[in-house]
Amino acid sequence: MLDWARSPIRVILLVGLIVAVWLGNDYGATFDEDRNTNKGSAALRAYAGSNDYFVLDALPDHGPIYFMVFNITAKVIHGLAPSWTEADGRHFTHFLMFLLTVYCFYRLSLRFMGQRPAWMATILFATQPLLFGTGFINQKDTPFMALFIASLVSGLAAADRLHGRTQVSPGALLPALLADLRDAAAGIRAGWTGLSG
């Protein structure tokens, strides 16, 4: 049995995952989503020898790595949930990146305040309407925000380790996140079993 009260970030991630499943297919495509999806597809084809990617416009504006990732995850999500379009899968992927931001924000908050103010600040951050909506539909700013704050938290953890302080080491940040997400997923399964049984 999980001790949810001692780990509020697990509750926050659990609620975030439920919201992502509930609202993930409620958003329409943004004006630049098709263009960025095409860039990601063309970049994936480049690994098979295609030159399509190299003739696209605005290549200096964006790196294709995240566009490639959300193309792959969108197909996987569409395969798992055929009622969701690939655009819905992309929006779900963006929101998972937003949840990474929320997790790292919580870890960063713990450096400067106690656990209760840290999770309260995290809830405030996660429920801001602008950030929340952007979490689903923005394929550039959401991953940038997630990776920026993850880099910040990892760098601070590395500095702490270098100076002998007891904080989460950079190598332990990802396993800690995965453990929290695994526990949140176990909570979703238990809740779903309770509702459907």
- Residue 61: pLDDT band (50, 70, 90) is low
pLDDT digits (tens, 9 = 90+) for 123-178: 999 999 888 888 888 888 888 999 898 888 888 877 777 666 655 554 555 666 66
Overall average pLDDT of the 179-195 stretch:
58
- Containing H/E element for 188? helix 170-196
pLDDT for residue 185 is more than 70: no
Whether 110 and 104 have beta carbons less than 8 Å apart is answered as no
pLDDT at site 174: 63
pLDDT for residue 5 is more than 50: no
For residue 21, CA distances in Å to 16, 37, 43, 67, 122 come to: 9, 22, 28, 21, 20
**Tokens for 171?**
């190598």
Classify residue 192 by its DSSP letter.
H
pLDDT for residue 6 is more than 60: no
Q: What are phi and psi of 141, to 5 degrees?
A: -70, -35
Q: Which residues contact residue 4 at a Cβ distance below 8 angstroms, ignoring those fewer than 6 apart?
A: 10, 11, 187
Please count the residues of the chain: 197
Pick from 68, 65, 58, 40: nearest CA to 147: 65
pLDDT at site 122: 92
Q: In terms of pLDDT, which residue wins out, 179 or 148?
A: 148
Q: In terms of pLDDT, which residue wins out, 174 or 106?
A: 106
pLDDT at site 2: 43
pLDDT at site 154: 82
Q: Tokens 């009622």 correspond to what residue?
A: 83
pLDDT for residue 28 is more than 50: yes
* HSE of 27, CA atoms in CB hemisphere, 13 A: 28
Classify residue 6 by its DSSP letter.
G
- Residue 27: pLDDT band (50, 70, 90) is confident
Reduced to 3 states, what is the DSSP secondary structure of residue 35? helix
- Containing H/E element for 134? helix 129-137
- Residue 186: pLDDT band (50, 70, 90) is low
**Mean pLDDT, all residues of the chain:** 78
Residue 177 and residue 61: Cα distance in Å, rounded?
31
pLDDT for residue 32 is more than 70: yes
pLDDT at site 190: 59
pLDDT at site 110: 87
Classify residue 29 by its DSSP letter.
P
Reduced to 3 states, what is the DSSP secondary structure of residue 84? coil
Residue 37 and residue 40: Cα distance in Å, rounded?
5
